[in-house]
Amino acid sequence: MPKVKTVKAAAKRFKVTKSGKFKRSKSFRGHLKTSKAPKRRRNLRRSLVVSASDEKRVRDMLPYA
């Protein structure tokens, strides 16, 4: 059986936690920060766990994670 290739774009965006879940960073962080409130910008720094509905897709893209 051939090896399954990792989707490199996904490998750069997701990290695996110790419990096996996937961490991701938030969107809307790149630019136009002056129009966003300081509290909103501060909360954008936090990372999140990938939702249960998306976890299967991420797991398929990262077969060796």
Q: Is residue 2 part of a domain?
A: no
Runs of H (alpha helix) within 3-51: 8-13, 38-44
* Tally of residues, the chain: 65
Range of the domain at 27: 8-61
> pLDDT value at position 25?
97
Hey, what are 34's tokens? Answer: 């002056």
Instruction: Calculate the alpha carbon distances from 57 to 33, 43, 60 in Å.
Output: 31, 26, 5
Task: Residue 15: give its domain's CATH number.
Answer: 4.10.410.60
pLDDT band at 52 (very low <50, low <70, confident <90, very high): very high
The residue behind tokens 């910008």 is 41
For residue range 5-50, what is the model confidence (pLDDT) as tens digits? Answer: 999 999 999 999 999 999 999 999 999 999 999 999 999 999 999 9
Q: pTM score, two decimals?
A: 0.84
Total tally of structural domains belonging to the chain:
1
